[in-house]
Structures are given as structure tokens and as C-alpha cells.
């Protein structure tokens, strides 16, 4: 790979993909916290507690998905650049 292509990929990763992943991670954390608030405020109502539990689960799943996406992205980009470094 040429130096320009590597620079372009690094810029795309640093300025587009990583901020999107960070934003989606923040959304997942907000969803989890919203679920906690719903669960606490709906302590007297079984339906509201169930909705709060569901939002907490969605938030946890979102957090793990974003961590996985970040890890896979770094793994692929590190592998790709290690292969191209010999050329």
C-alpha cells in the first residue's frame, strides 16, 4: 500500500469511524441509564419495570456490540497495515 492510501485509511478511521463508534457507545450507555431510571421510577408497576429491564438489556447489548466493533476494526486495520508494511 502506498503511504497516501494508508494516510487516507487512518484519516477515515480517526475522523469518521471512531467518532461514530464513540457516539453509538454513548447512546448505548444512555439507554442503559434510562432503563435504570425507568426501573426505579416504575417500582410499583410491573409493566414499567419490565420496560426498564428491556431497556437495560438493550443498553448492555449495545455496549458489547460497540466494544466488539471497535476491537474488530482495530484488529483488521492492524493486520492490514502489518501486511502492507513489508512492501
Spans of all domains in the chain: 3-80
Q: Which set of grid coordinates corresponds to residue 72?
A: 474488530
Residue 6, helix vs strand vs coil: helix
Distance CA 79, CA 76 (A): 5
**Residue ranges of the chain whose pLDDT lies below 70:** 1, 81-87
The pLDDT value recorded for residue 81 is 65
Instruction: Supply the pTM of this predicted model.
Output: 0.83
Distance CA 77, CA 11 (A): 12
Residue with the three cell numbers 478511521? 13
The pLDDT value recorded for residue 84 is 46
The pLDDT value recorded for residue 9 is 83
Residue with the three cell numbers 466494544? 67
The pLDDT value recorded for residue 13 is 87
Instruction: With beta carbons less than 8 A apart as the criterion, state whether 24 and 62 touch.
Output: yes
Amino acid at each position: 500500500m502506498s503511504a497516501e492510501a494508508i494516510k487516507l485509511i487512518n484519516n477515515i478511521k480517526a475522523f469518521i469511524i471512531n467518532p461514530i463508534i464513540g457516539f453509538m457507545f454513548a447512546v448505548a450507555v444512555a439507554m442503559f441509564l434510562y432503563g435504570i431510571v425507568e426501573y426505579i421510577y416504575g417500582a410499583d408497576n410491573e409493566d414499567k419495570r419490565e420496560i426498564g429491564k428491556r431497556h437495560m438489556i438493550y443498553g448492555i447489548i449495545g455496549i458489547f456490540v460497540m466494544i466488539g466493533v471497535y476491537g474488530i476494526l482495530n484488529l483488521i486495520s492492524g493486520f492490514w497495515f502489518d501486511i502492507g508494511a513489508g512492501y
